[in-house]
Amino acid sequence: MKKTIGTAFAATFAGAVALGGFAASAADPVKIGFSESKTGLFAQAATSQYQSYNLWREQMNAAGGLDVAGTKRKVEFVSYDDQSNPGKAVQIYEKLITDDKVDLLLAPWGTSLHLAIAGVIERYKFPVVGNTAASVQLRKLKAGNIWFPTSLFPDRQSDVLAALLKDRGVNTAALVTNQLPYTQENKSFVVPALKKAGIELVVNEDYPPNVKDLTAVLTKVKNAKPDAVLAYTYPADAVLYMNGAREVGLNQRVQVVLLGPQYDFFDKIFGAARNGILTMGHWTPARKDWPSARTFADAFKARWKTDPDFVDAPLAYVSVEILQQAVAKAGLDKDKLRATIAGTTFATINGPVRFEGVMNVALPTMISQIQGGTQHIVWPPKERTAEAIAKPAWK
Amino acid sequence: MVDLFSGQLLIAALVLAAIYGLVALGLNLIYGTMRLLNVAHGEILMLGGYLAYWTFTLTGVGPVWSMFLALVLAGAFGAIVYRTLCRRVLRSSRLIEQIEANSLLLLFGVSIILQNVIALSFTATARAYPYLDDIVRIGTFQVTADRLVVLGIGLALCFAAILFFRLSATGLQIRALIQQPDAALLVGVDVERMRLISFSLGFAIAGVAGCLISMLEQVSPFMGFPFTIAAFVVIILGGLGNLAGGLAGAAVLAAIEVYGVALTTTSMRSILIYGVFIAVLVWRPQGLFGGRSMVR
């Protein structure tokens, strides 16, 4: 009798374990890992990437979960602060893969961290769709486990900008550039691009990132009377440029501010005064042929009580959209996933995405302009959502 | 060639001098009285910036008024930090031997905690608000009204502080503590009380500075560190612990930043500033405006 009870108990226990194990594997959340720049140099800029990731996770879970080759599974994030440190990001991605054993990976923030983790994901053959990175160096990465949906590469961006300036009748320009890497890389390409377009550079000065006043250099720009002013800024010094340009009275009809106008805080400070400012960007909710762009912008605002920026937030969301569609088709098998990402055209909030090598070849490089409180694509003509306007005089 | 006598450059230099002077004043006060290197100074400024931002966003009350709230709250926070952390360091015979290094480590920890508490509470997203941003024309040049307000309030506070330290009994006791701490104790100065007042006052001034700076630039959890660095440069130029010298140091730094750039190029800014900084450290370690007795 004892034996019977024991056998029955053992059989029940084994069955429960087996059933439980089966049930757990179907219902287990999909673990998605990434490193976040919560502190350090990139913390301020990286916030919108994290907000897009979380918005997507919440949307997936509210809809019953992520479609993994036909099975819906909840999404769970595993993330660590990389302190904006590329070395730390490498350690984190290694841990996510080997220790946390995540099912999928999302990208860290910024070019330097993307470049840093490329070696780890290549070693473990773990596919990652990048997002907030744009440097010509990225093209040198081995294709296969990393891809970049953006088209904001400094060389192409410079050529497109030079073409727009020429179209706006610009013959002379002044260039002031922050000494940080992305603006310097853009400068290195825009100087020859302007020359090739026949635009003379009458002022060409750099300034350090911790600058607190630009009055002197903007006075030099005013005295040189260029047709266009190109301020290759990061967000913090973009504020200095705008305030300085107003005070000094730089009323050029063509003014380019590279990084800053895309962010919500810029709208809060300058409001209508930023109208007419040209800037970088290839996304806008105003594109009628990208209907999900408006849906994303509204959902982002409803969730985070702030508008998404026009660069990082949409790019981060595009990267998870790509992963979502690839996982629905290929499941979590890394080889199948890699082949699917490399060989599929994805529908995203930024239009179709199709990769050749590491690059998205479906998205042309574009220039945007702030008009009526939002960002419109104004160049090239076949992509634009609005005609470029002359910048109104400062008020 | 830029006209060096233009009002545009002069006003830019004066606004910068007022900001640097105010930021450095609090740092110098705490260092002067206690030899505490408050590397969390920029974070107190950041808290003042957030206070101004939220007060304006939620109630519409501008920073010109919320700075009084910042003065009180930052001062109270200073008293708490002093009583719970810094006083222990000052009373420990083991820690006081290397007070500068120990206070630097301690307050560095405070600065990291403050940055991250604010980042977790409000995210690291930059925030800003428009306030008095109309252009005001003065003769041949123009300036935004918010910068004029910062200039006016900044200079008024700096001069009020000088008068306080020269004329009031408390101010004189604090100066005595800065110049001759042992002698101050012998003649009956309540050292503990003066230290508490100095620490609170240092924090309060930083809080007010943050309110004013939030009118000109965006606030974020990590905005404070560059101001801490600038404040250290200013007080080295002016003389460590020399309050009036610090204000003169602020004027020198602002002049280098505006006129130095006008005479050369913007990329020379850091070379000029840190070149002068190193030269002062090497050839005049008591600061441009400090007597030899100020060096410790």
Question: Does residue B2 register a pLDDT over 90?
Answer: no
The reported pTM is 0.87
**CA-to-CA distance for B226 and B133, rounded, in angstroms?**
24
CB–CB contact A179 B261 (8 Å): no
Q: What b/e readout covers A321-339, taking b as 16+ CB neighbours within 10 angstroms?
A: bbbbbbbebbbeebebbbb
CA distance A333 to A363: 28
Question: Which residues have C-beta within 8 Å of that of residue B101, sequence separation ≥ 6?
Answer: none
Q: Is the pLDDT of residue B39 over 70?
A: yes
Task: Mark yes or no for CB contact A47/B125 under 8 Å.
Answer: yes
Nearest to A48 by CA among A161, A132, A174, A130: A132
Instruction: Give residue B208's pLDDT.
Output: 97
Q: What is the rounded CA–CA span in Å between residue A60 and residue A48? A: 18
Task: Compute the residue count for chain A.
Answer: 395
Chain-chain contact of A43 with B221 (C-beta, under 8 angstroms): yes
Task: Identify residue A149 by its one-letter amino acid code.
Answer: P
State residue A134 phi and psi, 5-degree precision: -155, 95
User: What is the per-residue pLDDT for A9?
Assistant: 46
pLDDT for position A229: 98
Question: What CATH number was assigned to the domain covering residues A154-280+367-383?
Answer: 3.40.50.2300
Q: Taking CB atoms and an 8 Å limit, are A206 and B267 in contact across chains? A: yes
* Record: contact B218-A265, CB cut-off 8 A: yes
Buried b (16+ CB within 10 A) or exposed e, A225-237: ebbbbbbbbbbbb
Distance CA A157, CA B14 (A): 39
Q: Are B220 and B125 in contact, with CB atoms under 8 Å apart?
A: yes
Q: How confident is the model at residue B96 (pLDDT cuts 50, 70, 90)?
A: confident
- Choose the weakest-confidence range: A243-247, B3-7, B226-230: B3-7
Chain B interface disruption, residue of A81, A82, A175, A219, most B CBs within 10 A? A219
Distance from CA of A220 to the nearest CA of B (A): 6
pLDDT of residue B38: 94
The confidence score (pLDDT) of residue A25 equals 53
Q: What is the Cα–Cα distance from A287 to A309, expressed in whole angstroms?
A: 16
Scanning every residue of chain B, which has its alpha carbon at the shortest distance from the alpha carbon of A211? B269
Is the per-residue pLDDT at B205 higher than 60? yes
Give the closest of B129, B229, B266 to A268, CB-based. B129
Which is more confidently placed, A122 or B139?
Answer: A122
- Three-state SS letters, B30-73: HHHHHCCCCCCHHHHHHHHHHHHHHHHHHHCCCHHHHHHHHHHH
Task: Classify domain A29-152+288-360 at the CATH topology level.
Answer: Rossmann fold (3.40.50)
Residues 94-153 of B with CB under 8 A from A: 112, 115-116, 119, 123-130, 133, 135, 141-144, 147
Burial class (CB in 10 A: 0-12, 13-18, 19+), A297: buried
Q: What is the mean pLDDT of residues B105-112?
A: 94
CB spacing of A246 vs B15 below 8 angstroms: no
Cβ contacts of B220 on chain A, cutoff 8 Å: 44
pLDDT of amino acid B293: 43
User: Shortest Cα distance from A218 to chain B (angstroms)?
Assistant: 10
Q: What was the pLDDT predicted at B1?
A: 64
Q: Which of B9, B229, B270 sits opposite A216 (nearest CB)?
A: B9
pLDDT at site A16: 45
Question: Could you tell me if A317 lies within 8 Å of chain B, comparing CB atoms?
Answer: no
Residue among A140, A51, A118, A134 at smallest CA distance from A320: A51
Q: How far is CA B239 from the centre of its chain?
A: 14
Q: Residue A183 has what pLDDT?
A: 93
On whether the CB atoms of residues B198 and B75 are closer than 8 A, the answer is no
Question: Which stretch of A51-55, A164-168, B207-211, B239-243 has the lowest confidence by average pLDDT?
Answer: B239-243
Instruction: Report the pLDDT averaged over residues B47-69.
Output: 96
- No. of H helices and E strands in chain A? 12, 17
Test the B interface: residue of A44, A52, A221 with most B CBs within 10 Å: A44
Show which of residues 266-285 on chain A sit within 8 Å of chain B, judged by CB atoms: 266, 268-271
Interface probe, candidates B11, B16, B269, chain A, greatest A C-beta count within 10 A = B269
> In chain A, what residues touch B124 (CB-CB under 8 Å)?
38, 43-44, 46-47
- Domains within chain B, CATH numbers bracketed: 7-289 (1.10.3470)
Residues 190-229 of B with CB under 8 A from A: 216-218, 220-222, 226, 229
Kindly determine whether residue A268 and residue B222, on different chains, have CB atoms separated by under 8 Å.
Answer: no
The full set of domain ranges for chain A reads 29-152+288-360, 154-280+367-383
* ipTM exceeding cut-off 0.90 for this assembly: no
Cis previous bond, A209, omega within 30:
no
- Sign of the CA dihedral with A274 first, then A278, A284, and A285 last: positive
Q: Are B234 and B246 in contact (CB under 8 A)?
A: yes
Q: Which of residues 275-294 of B touch A (CB under 8 A)?
A: none
A207-229 pLDDT, tens digit per residue, is 988 888 999 999 999 999 999 99
Encoded tokens for B190: 């309540």
Q: Do the Cβ atoms of B128 and A268 come within 8 Å?
A: yes
Residue B130: which of A38, A210, A268 has the nearest Cβ?
A268
| Residue in A39, A40, A207 nearest the CB of B269 | A207
What is residue B294's predicted lDDT score, i.e. its pLDDT? 44
Give the per-residue pLDDT at A26.
Answer: 56
Cβ atoms of residues B238 and B162 within 8 Å: no
Beta-carbon contacts of A300 under 8 Å, excluding residues fewer than 6 positions away, are A51, A52, A55, A306, A307, A308, A313
Rounded Cα distance, B231 and B202, in Å = 12
For B249-283, the pLDDT digits (tens) are 999 999 999 999 889 888 888 899 999 999 998 99
Confidence of residue B168 (pLDDT cuts 50, 70, 90): very high
Q: Which residues of chain A register pLDDT less than 50? A: 1-24
Domains A29-152+288-360 and A154-280+367-383 share a fold: yes
From B203's Cα to the closest Cα of chain A, the distance in A is: 22
